[in-house]
Structure 1
């Protein structure tokens, strides 16, 4: 009988908003068995759920709810089942988002508002560095000064969630700067997310995805 362990199963959640094919390829290269689907049972039972997102905050939320993705994310996290959001898939995890003066509700897994970037050049498109905390698991093994690929015009500029229970680990927050500092990644128990696109970030992004898969 072989002692070789089976690869972790990851579902890239397909709800109509996200670069699902590039995410699928990157996660497969990182060593997981990957399926692109919006199927409820598959998304609930996978070892890890990856939620991509592109476009407008409100449109992504509408698509996610239509696919029951809001319920799936909530139920998985209630059971400590890993979820990772990418780009707008990260933004919708916050309480709300403001685009063109219109406020839309997010999933409210974290407090905070997604707001327009205040910078000379918007959108923030291209390579940028990150400032992870020293105890980050997500960025373990990633070279200091590594660059990641961003494409966004909105971000969270203020982080307010802490823990008052000394037995619980406070969320680990990574920052980047484009015009002003913004949240570029979060590690919070079973819920991890990145504002940048790890699937488009070369070796550094591949290491990051491998780190996530190792926690599943």
Structure 2
């Protein structure tokens, strides 16, 4: 089975992400060991809570360095919910806290006039094709829980409508990121995780 490292920095839906990856056939392991992260065919960064608290915990664990090294090596990498937001340089939620800066843009509050957080199922509006969504038939419904979302910058593959278009999924080369929770999104979410494991398997065999 393909080894997927789920970064264990002590915050968020770590075990549910691990179990969902195991369900689709991966050897998914929670780990804070940089050596195991280096050995993994794919790396997953989940996250729940505030941008600043998650970023602080990631840095305190030393896994911020392991994450950046994995991305630089070209290892398939998947950020989920706040894990997606941490891939950006900054967030309005936590002024002065630097993110990983892998993706261009900023994380901003959801638009005025909508309930925060968005805590519901919502349908994806596909912006461009991506292997992330291979085998999924529209309409694609995913489960969201968030009050902040990324800028409409490069790499957007899907949005959802919540007081206007909100970035729901991004892919930049081998870096995948979703604002929704695939591990909580039923068969469609499991298909996204299965596609990620497939991408990691293919790169490891190349």
Is the TM value for this pair above 0.5?
Answer: yes
Equivalent position of 1:189 in the other structure: 173
Deviations 1:183-216 (CA, angstroms, capped at 9, x unpaired): 1111111110100000000000011110111011
Deviations 1:36-91 (CA, angstroms, capped at 9, x unpaired): 11111112211111100010001111111111122112111111111100000000
Alignment of 1:148-187 (within 5 A): 148-159=142-153, 161=154, 171-187=155-171
Q: Is the 8 A contact 2:22 2:28 kept in 1?
A: yes
Provide TM-score, normalisation by structure 2.
Answer: 0.92
Which structure 1 segments of 5+ residues have no match?
1-6, 162-170
Equivalent position of 1:128 in the other structure: 122
Equivalents in 2 of 1:197, 1:127: separation in Å?
10
Q: Which moved more, 1:191-200 or 1:111-120?
A: 111-120
Q: Which has the higher helix share?
A: 2
Equivalent position of 2:183 in the other structure: 199
State the superposition RMSD in angstroms.
1.4
Equivalent position of 1:117 in the other structure: 110
Q: What secondary structure is seen at the aligned counterpart in 2 of 1:105?
A: coil
Equivalents in 2 of 1:182, 1:44: separation in Å?
33
Q: Is the 8 A contact 2:128 2:158 kept in 1?
A: no
Q: Is the 8 A contact 1:157 1:181 kept in 2?
A: no
Equivalent position of 2:97 in the other structure: 104
Give the direction of change, closer, same or farther, for the CA distance of 1:134–1:114 in structure 2 (3 Å limit): closer
Equivalents in 2 of 1:74, 1:115: separation in Å?
23
Q: Which has the higher strand share?
A: 1
- Greater Rg over alpha carbons, structure: 1
Compute the displacement of 1:103 (Å).
4.0
Provide TM-score, normalisation by structure 1.
Answer: 0.88
Equivalent position of 2:68 in the other structure: 74
Q: Is the 8 A contact 2:156 2:167 kept in 1?
A: no
Give the paired residue count: 199
Q: Is the 8 A contact 1:114 1:155 kept in 2?
A: yes
Deviations 1:96-138 (CA, angstroms, capped at 9, x unpaired): 10127x3421111011111111142111001001122442110
